[in-house]
Chains A and B, each alone.
Chain A
Amino acid sequence: MSDAQTLAVEVVGIEQVTPLIKHFKLAPVGGGDLPAFSGGSHIIVVMQGDRVHKNPYSLLSAPHELQTYEIGVRRMEESRGGSHYMHDAVVVGSRLEIAHPVNLFGLDKIARKHVLIAGGIGITPFLAQLEDLHGGGVPYELHYSVRSPEHAAFLGRLRAREGERLHMYYDSEAQSIPFESMLASQPLGTHVYVCGPAGMIKHVIATAQACGWPDSHIHWEQFSAPPVGDAFEVFLARSNLKVHVPPDQSLLESIEAAGVEVQYLCRGGVCGFCHTRVLELDGELIHNDHFLSDADKAKGKSIMPCVSRAHGRRLVLDL
């Protein structure tokens, strides 16, 4: 939705937990508790840098600990600025705006067993979910794959709390998650959750489907950062506005900068909330979202402006 209801928070703790990941603690300005949430939720962090960045980050703190929210931010090599801002400009005492938590990656409450699969920074939503699973009586296991031991963020806390339910895999030691045997041997009623690089997510989905898993038992979340691309022009029909989209700004950000409000929840191509109708197109759409089906993408009648772009001569949107 809009940003009408953001919360003001202050950064009260920063820790560099791996060479690439920083761990931030956020407390409400003025004290008190932050809203309760469920494991798997993310928040949008609004950063006022040289321009405004709004990035989704999973909450990794315990859902019952509401004095602070915790997030983990990985420095992205091809950042358009959001993760670099968090790493380089944000210090203890910095103030940020955040939106209320939204959960697009919740645990299924009637699952008989949960299998959690994390790749790298994809561990963050699971850290909060594990808090919900402790003492819940439903069996679970966590498979966590990282490049090398120095990249294993939050491993200390996971080892201490999860014991034998934690399975670690290091690329540097040529270890990899045995997706096929693991997914083929789960009891009926198991749900699998995967968060990590795109290739890992695709592989888990394909393997689970090949093993006969129903789609309703396969869960995944991957926030895409809006990719950099060629500049293009867009015409907003209802607003009667021509908007220029520069290479390092998303279509959504450019539309917002022109003063037109678009509803959104995740800004990462997942939720479908910013779904926008394409009225005219001379050129092609570059779909980067995980929401539209391949068939819908091929039709060219809609676009998710948070992560998708266009190139060609003319694009007219129903905004």
Chain B
Amino acid sequence: MSAVFKPDETFRGDFTYRNSPEAIRRFPLPFPEDAYMYSVNIEPHLPGPAGSVTEFAFDVDEHYVAECRERALVLAAEPLRYQALPHMMSSQWDCLELIMESLARDYPAHFSLAKRGNRWHWINRPLQIDQQFTFGDTASLPREPLEYITRQAQGDFVVMDQREGDLWTEAGMVTTQADWSLDFDMGMTFKEWHGPVPLAHELQVFDRALKFLLNLRLGQPVRRLNWTMTINPRLDTSPENYPFWGTDRATVTADNAGERVHLRVELQGLWRLPRSNAIVFGIRCYLISLRELVTVPKWARRVHRVLRDLHPALVDYKGLTRYRDAAVAWLAPYDDGSPTTPGTSPE
């Protein structure tokens, strides 16, 4: 999609982030039916319809420039939001190559990549970056390769090393997260990392997901959607900054929920990396206010029902306890009880 960037949007302070009508219609609703429970909802990350968020490997939308600036603000205050252990350097170059090649191929108007052997020339026009460097030579870039390229990408990235029949969280850039911390989770195994998730362990979701991911193949990436809710369009809901956003949840009423409460959807992609045999886990965050959401009548009915009937353990885990009732009350007038069509399309 040839989005018009909105470079001045903010995700903090005055919260000027908004979705255009086009961005609303392509929003990745994570509810194919009127009720929600966990599943291993992994599917091949194949190109979706033109204009959809899955058309390309990495979606670049109207919020691109503003999100990159927000990431820089977070990193300036807390540099440890980016970390990589020393043995992850080959996976860093793998990630840089994957992201640069994808963006240059899919958005030639915005990005270009020229290679002469190991001499690479990268141009990022929206961010006005023109960089020549030697692939594999860390000293030829202003920052480590993973930090360098993920400062120019939307969404968080976690790189997992594969050894001992497990996946280890050992590098990442995490500034747009739903209340989890890379600094806390560094070095953890797959199941340690997902330890706090309720119900899913009993359903053996992580046993099956780990087994699946250990066999993830080169050239066959996969994706899934996950979701939660966030008060205000705040990308950085980190445990580190809980004092700045935790209290927002007490400000929601049935009157202001339409503007305050946002559905937060993560488009999660997983790629096997070639040189390192590691896996990169991309977590791309999309935010939409309830007010924007109800401009699509089917989605208004769908989200009202999902939220109203959500399992209590998930209400707690997703941090919705304080304001779920207010959000359901705000949505109720938009649900006339008529059936919804299956699937997530707006019609």
Which A76-105 residues have a C-beta within 8 angstroms of B? Answer: 100-103
B275 contacts A109, CB within 8 Å?
no
A103 contacts B277, CB within 8 Å?
yes
A37 contacts B275, CB within 8 Å?
yes
Q: Residue on B with the closest CB to A216?
A: B164
Q: Residue on A with the closest CB to B88?
A: A109
Task: From known contacts A100-B217, A265-B215, infer whether A63 and B163 are also in contact, taking CB-CB under 8 Å.
Answer: no
A101 contacts B163, CB within 8 Å?
no
A102 to B276, CA, bound (A): 12
Task: From known contacts A37-B274, A37-B275, infer whether A106 and B162 are also in contact, taking CB-CB under 8 Å.
Answer: yes
> What residues on B are CB-neighbors of A103 within 8 Å?
277
| In the assembled complex, A5 has its CB within 8 A of some CB on chain B | yes
A106 contacts B163, CB within 8 Å?
yes
A261-297 near B? 1/0 per residue, CB < 8 Å? 0000100000111000000000000000000000000
Shortest beta-carbon distance, B204 to chain A, in Å?
16
> What residues on A are CB-neighbors of B88 within 8 Å?
109
Q: Residue on A with the closest CB to B168?
A: A110
| In the assembled complex, B219 has its CB within 8 A of some CB on chain A | yes
Shortest beta-carbon distance, B221 to chain A, in Å?
12
> What residues on A are CB-neighbors of B218 within 8 Å?
35, 37, 100-102
B217 contacts A110, CB within 8 Å?
no
A110 contacts B220, CB within 8 Å?
no
Majority-rule SS of A interface residues: loop
A188-201 near B? 1/0 per residue, CB < 8 Å? 00000000000000
Contact of B219 among A5, A38, A106, A265 (CB under 8 A): A5
> What residues on B are CB-neighbors of A40 within 8 Å?
277
A145 to B274, CA, bound (A): 30
Number of interface residues of B (CB under 8 A): 18
> What residues on A are CB-neighbors of B236 within 8 Å?
none
> What residues on A are CB-neighbors of B219 within 8 Å?
5, 35, 100
> What residues on A are CB-neighbors of B97 within 8 Å?
36
A273 to B216, CA, bound (A): 11
Which B273-311 residues have a C-beta within 8 angstroms of A? Answer: 274-277
A5 contacts B274, CB within 8 Å?
no
B217 contacts A106, CB within 8 Å?
no
Q: Which of B88, B161, B220, B274 has the most CB of A within 10 A?
A: B274
B215 contacts A271, CB within 8 Å?
yes
Number of interface residues of A (CB under 8 A): 23
| In the assembled complex, B87 has its CB within 8 A of some CB on chain A | yes
A110 contacts B163, CB within 8 Å?
yes
A254 to B217, CA, bound (A): 25
A216 to B219, CA, bound (A): 28
Q: Residue on B with the closest CB to A38?
A: B277
> What residues on A are CB-neighbors of B87 within 8 Å?
109-110
A40 to B275, CA, bound (A): 11
> What residues on A are CB-neighbors of B94 within 8 Å?
36
Shortest beta-carbon distance, B163 to chain A, in Å?
5
> What residues on A are CB-neighbors of B220 within 8 Å?
1, 5, 100
A106 contacts B277, CB within 8 Å?
yes
Shortest beta-carbon distance, A267 to chain B, in Å?
14
A220-247 near B? 1/0 per residue, CB < 8 Å? 0000000000000000000000000000
Q: Which of B90, B215, B220 has the most CB of A within 10 A?
A: B215
Contact of B274 among A38, A108, A216, A272 (CB under 8 A): A38
> What residues on B are CB-neighbors of A35 within 8 Å?
218-219, 274
Residues of B participating in the A interface, judged by any CB pair closer than 8 Å: 87-88, 90, 94, 97, 161-164, 215, 217-220, 274-277
Can you list 20 A-B contacts with CB-CB less than 8 angstroms, sorted by A residue number? A1-B220, A5-B219, A36-B94, A36-B274, A38-B275, A40-B277, A41-B277, A100-B217, A100-B218, A101-B218, A102-B217, A102-B218, A106-B162, A106-B277, A109-B87, A109-B161, A109-B163, A109-B276, A110-B87, A216-B163
Apart from A5-B219, A102-B217, A273-B215: 10 A-B pairs, beta carbons within 8 A: A1-B217, A1-B220, A36-B274, A64-B275, A100-B217, A101-B274, A106-B162, A109-B161, A216-B164, A271-B215
The 7 closest A-B pairs by CB, nearest first: A36-B274, A109-B87, A38-B277, A100-B218, A216-B164, A103-B277, A100-B219
